[in-house]
Structure 1
């Protein structure tokens, strides 16, 4: 195999990993509910399923999550990108972002935090630990439930996220996901041999 080689410049350490999922995180405590945008998130472990979000302590949602011990990671679609940006720059301390964006909440099954009805996938999370890192604190959480849109399930009940039109965030910009390049393990997967069904000619 032959690949492109690049000439590099060396910079000091900074935040540059891309792309990331710009998620809508919903939370609530004692009647106060909020939604805010989080791109610093991902998977930490498979069994048990563990995720995280990194949040600045000064953000309005920080105390709601810390006191309630839970939150929901909602995966937004292309049509929600404006709401995603809005929820990332406005604070719930001054406005009702659900009212301003038109997003609707629904009750979660396993946590007290609400989920967002317009997002096709909702990840219900219970906080297991808080790690102080500097500008952000990382909420490490167990994934205790998944709510998936029935519209994205195939006839075998499998989730087809390629139909969801999810979005990505890279270096301050939002992007629609592009074309499929492969699937996990495709580089070593053996190609199936097609049977030759052509009939031999009789002489």
Structure 2
């Protein structure tokens, strides 16, 4: 296979275009980020990276908390809007279809329409250059009960989650394997 070498860049795809709610119920905002992921299992920890000039950056620095709200194919328009408009002059919870609800453990609101809301408390931050990475403990996870079966097993594949790759949004498709299937005994 022939390859062309490009200069170093952010080419790790696909990514989750998550809507991060921050601030408080009285002064809330939403920022969409794709720079997010899991960094630790015990304790469960995640991160988001936010440009310091963003309105949400100051809210997260002030409260030390945020909620990662997973985006579905039906919420992609909202996620895109929340990523390109500033909370300095736009109330993003006033958008059609987005409802702020009280979180169980943090001051930041959750987005009710999101199938999974991950409540986070910042442990430390690292200024990396263009972005500041907020490394946070996952304090609580809220799941839409419609995604649970009678035994309480989560069926996240029914949520219609979205991904982003190179400036485009995609609905996640069919399952092509499962963890450990390559070595599982038949």
TM range (shorter): over 0.9
Question: Which of 78, 91, 94 is equivalent to 2:89?
Answer: 94
Output the CA distance in 2 between the equivalents of 1:89 and 1:128.
27
Report deviation, 1:176: 0.6
Q: What's the TM-score once normalised by structure 2's chain length?
A: 0.98
Output the CA distance in 2 between the equivalents of 1:9 and 1:135.
27
The structure with higher relative contact order (CA 8 Å, sep 6+) is 2
Q: Which residue of 2 aligns with 1:62?
A: 57
Q: Which residue of 2 aligns with 1:37?
A: 32
Question: Which of 136, 150, 153 is equivalent to 1:155?
Answer: 150
List gaps (5 residues or longer) in structure 1.
1-5, 192-203
8 Å Cα contact 1:29/1:67 also seen in 2: no
Question: Which of 97, 103, 109 is equivalent to 1:108?
Answer: 103
Report deviation, 1:100: 2.6
Sort the Cα spacing of 1:98 and 1:30 in 2 relative to 1 into closer, same or farther, 3 A: closer
Off by >6 Å, runs of 4+ in structure 1: none
Matched, 1:79 2:74: yes
Q: Which residue of 1 aligns with 2:169?
A: 174
Output the CA distance in 2 between the equivalents of 1:167 and 1:141.
23
Q: What's the TM-score once normalised by structure 1's chain length?
A: 0.89
**What is the SS of the residue equivalent to 1:61?**
helix
Figure out how many residues of one structure are paired with residues of the other and give that number: 186
Sort the Cα spacing of 1:131 and 1:85 in 2 relative to 1 into closer, same or farther, 3 A: same
